[in-house]
């Protein structure tokens, strides 16, 4: 990564803030040039360029999960491409899958309070060849109504939204099966470390 530092000439690159044998913490910067057009009161078109800097904060760790992306922008394709390039394409980047309810249960054991206000259900069998996707939403904990809705049908929980208190900090979190965890609020480093361990333990399939 040090060989691919950000520069104005290239328009993209890495800026590392901390490097240790166990991890690398930094940002990937990408300069984006936007060409825009406005029309003045006389009908003349005026063209100008606007410059944006897109930042991807990342943490590469020796331990699983090996890559953590924070506050990810809408597209991270350039970052992933250059990350693979910095490792000489000797590593494969694959998404993880989370057991949503396992992570939620582990979080509840650590939190002083936890309320689930939304559950997204997918692949719920309704009839032969027919499946449903639905969302349970409420001001109170909706988990008590999950069995009433699903009965004895097969289903899959793809995401939950919960409010919780941990280390005397009130936060809310979205946990998604595709490996996404969004925590709303000011997150202390100690809680960030806790979630990293929760994600590791709730990963459905781990590399050998």
This prediction's pTM: 0.74
**Residue 177: predicted pLDDT:** 94
pLDDT band at 8 (very low <50, low <70, confident <90, very high): confident
50 in a domain, yes or no?
yes
Q: Of 38, 55, 86, at which residue does a domain stop? A: 86
Round to whole Å and give the CA distance between 19 and 6.
16
Mark whether 80 and 169 lie in a shared domain. Answer: no
Q: What is the mean pLDDT of the chain?
A: 87
Least confident range of 34-38, 90-94, 106-110, 193-197: 90-94
Round to whole Å and give the CA distance between 112 and 110.
7
Least confident range of 40-44, 76-80, 137-141, 202-206: 202-206
pLDDT band at 208 (very low <50, low <70, confident <90, very high): very low
92 in a domain, yes or no?
no
208 in a domain, yes or no?
no
Arithmetic mean of pLDDT, 113-133: 92
Domain count, the chain: 2
Angle between helices 189-202 and 100-110 (to 10 degrees): 140
**Residue 205: predicted pLDDT:** 63
Please name the residues in contact with 29: beta carbons below 8 A apart, sequence gap of 6 or more: 6, 12, 13, 14, 15, 53, 54, 55
- Domain range for 177: 100-202
Q: What 8-state DSSP symbol labels residue 121?
A: E
Residue 165 pLDDT exceeds 90: yes
- Could you tell me what percent of the chain has a pLDDT over 90? 35
Q: What 8-state DSSP symbol labels residue 111?
A: S
């Amino acid at each position: 990564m040090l060989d691919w530092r950000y520069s104005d000439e290239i328009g993209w690159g890495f800026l590392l803030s901390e490097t240790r044998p166990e991890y690398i913490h930094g940002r990937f910067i990408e300069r984006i040039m936007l060409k825009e057009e406005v029309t003045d009161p006389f009908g003349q078109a005026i063209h100008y360029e606007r410059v944006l800097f897109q930042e991807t904060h990342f943490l590469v760790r020796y331990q699983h999960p090996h890559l953590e992306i924070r506050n990810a922008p809408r597209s991270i394709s350039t970052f992933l491409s250059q990350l693979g390039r910095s490792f000489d394409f000797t590593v494969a980047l694959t998404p993880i899958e989370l057991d949503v309810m396992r992570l939620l249960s582990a979080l509840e054991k650590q939190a002083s309070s936890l309320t689930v206000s939304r559950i997204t259900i997918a692949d719920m069998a309704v009839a032969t060849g027919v499946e449903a996707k639905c969302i349970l939403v409420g001001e109170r904990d909706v988990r008590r109504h999950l069995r009433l809705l699903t009965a004895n049908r097969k289903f899959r929980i793809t995401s939950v939204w919960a409010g919780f208190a941990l280390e005397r900090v009130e936060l809310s979190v979205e946990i998604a099966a595709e490996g996404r965890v969004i925590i709303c609020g000011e997150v202390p480093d100690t809680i960030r470390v806790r979630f990293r361990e929760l994600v590791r333990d709730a990963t459905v399939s781990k590399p050998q």
